[in-house]
Amino acid sequence: MPSLGVCVVWRFEGGVTEAPYDQAREDASARPPYALGHSQRELERLSVQARLIGPITRRFFTEAGIGEGMRVLDVGSGAGDVAFLAAELIGATGEVVGTDRSGAALAVARERAAALSYDMITFLEGDPTEMQFERPFDAVVGRYVLMYQPDPAATLTELASRVRPGGIVAFHEPYRDNVRSYPPVVEYDHGWELVDETFRRTGADPLMGIKLHAAFVAAGLPAPTMRMESVIAGGATSSDQVHFEMDVLATLVTEFERLGIAPGDDFDAATLPARAFAAASATDSVIVGRSEVGAWARKPG
């Protein structure tokens, strides 16, 4: 869902949007391009990712209070996974407005919504911090959005202004400092280290999850309720968990040369996930994915 930060590009789950701030526009020539792009392969990878972390996001949103009949703004809808999850929670009497700057991603989202008969969802192309809506929302939600913003607190301030007093602000962000394997799997550890290095060099914050408290408070919101979960498995049962972290390398590999990242002479993004899983199976290693952090609060008023 997109990159701001030093990079000043919003990556919303599957989409990219320019930052709405004047200085960001002035510095546009210095922006690195968004690393993950919007290829069909990347959209398919996001779908697999959604399958693994969708239940976690659902638990976060449910505890936050997203429920029947609400009007929800989904930031960075991409191919629609978070919007669909919100639709299931709010039901036929509610409404979800999904937003993204990627028209290609939203075309996929609209097709999927039609196939699922999610008539309560509308997808709009554009930047939600610049859009005008007919009335306030009961909640604003997003997954993997704030990690790409140059100023997450400023982004939260803008998005919270679209929510009615007493409404919910809920975000799900990663905290990648906990990614590891034990006993160590060299292939897996090398892979996730390359992912983190690429994110950092493109301005994304791989530790955003643990910074949500500070961002909410700086945005003038109450200290949020927070939860953390992780995708984890061991040995021969860890295939999904390995692919969860490793498959993104096939998308990022074209960025390595541009960013000056040397992945190593024996690096092969196409075979690395299978090799990492084989090594984990052989050593019965535990594969730990990034931590998934949820934070939510009600807007004062």
CA distance 38 to 16: 9
- Cβ burial, residue 19 (10 Å; 0-12/13-18/19+): buried
CA distance 259 to 117: 43
Confidence (pLDDT) at 22 = 34
Q: What is the pLDDT of residues 208-240, one digit of tens each?
A: 999 999 999 999 999 999 999 999 999 999 999
Q: Which long-range contacts (CB under 8 A, 24 or more apart) does 84-90 make?
A: 84/112, 84/113, 84/116, 84/118, 84/121, 85/54, 85/57, 85/58, 85/61, 86/61, 86/141, 87/118, 87/120, 87/121, 88/58, 89/58, 89/61, 89/62, 90/66, 90/120
pTM: 0.85
Amino acid at 64: A
Q: What is the pLDDT of residues 146-203, one digit of tens each?
A: 998 999 999 999 999 999 999 999 999 999 999 999 999 999 999 999 999 999 999 9
Confidence (pLDDT) at 251 = 85
Confidence (pLDDT) at 266 = 84
Confidence (pLDDT) at 18 = 30
Confidence (pLDDT) at 301 = 86
Confidence (pLDDT) at 44 = 62
The DSSP annotation for 33-72 comes to PPSS---HHHHHHHHHHHHHHHHHHHHHHHHHT--TT-EE
Higher pLDDT, 73 or 47: 73
For the chain, the domain total comes to 1
Q: What is the pLDDT of residues 18-72, one digit of tens each?
A: 333 233 333 333 333 444 444 555 556 666 777 889 999 999 999 999 999 999 9
Task: Classify the C-alpha dihedral 103-104-105-106 as positive or negative.
Answer: positive
Confidence (pLDDT) at 50 = 76
Confidence (pLDDT) at 40 = 55
At residue 222, the 3 state secondary structure works out as coil
Domain that holds residue 55: 5-298
CA 267 to chain CA centroid, nearest Å: 26
What letter would DSSP give residue 105?
H
The residue behind tokens 């992780």 is 230
Cβ(172)–Cβ(60) under 8 Å? yes
CA distance 298 to 226: 13
Q: What is the pLDDT of residues 253-295, one digit of tens each?
A: 888 989 999 999 889 999 999 999 999 999 999 999 999 999 9
CA distance 269 to 249: 6
- E strands, the chain, in order: 9-12, 15-18, 71-75, 95-100, 121-125, 137-143, 163-175, 180-182, 225-234, 286-298
Mean pLDDT of 239-261: 90
Confidence (pLDDT) at 45 = 64
CA distance 217 to 153: 8
CATH number at residue 13: 3.40.50.150
Using the predicted structure, report yes or no on whether residue 15 has a pLDDT greater than 80.
no
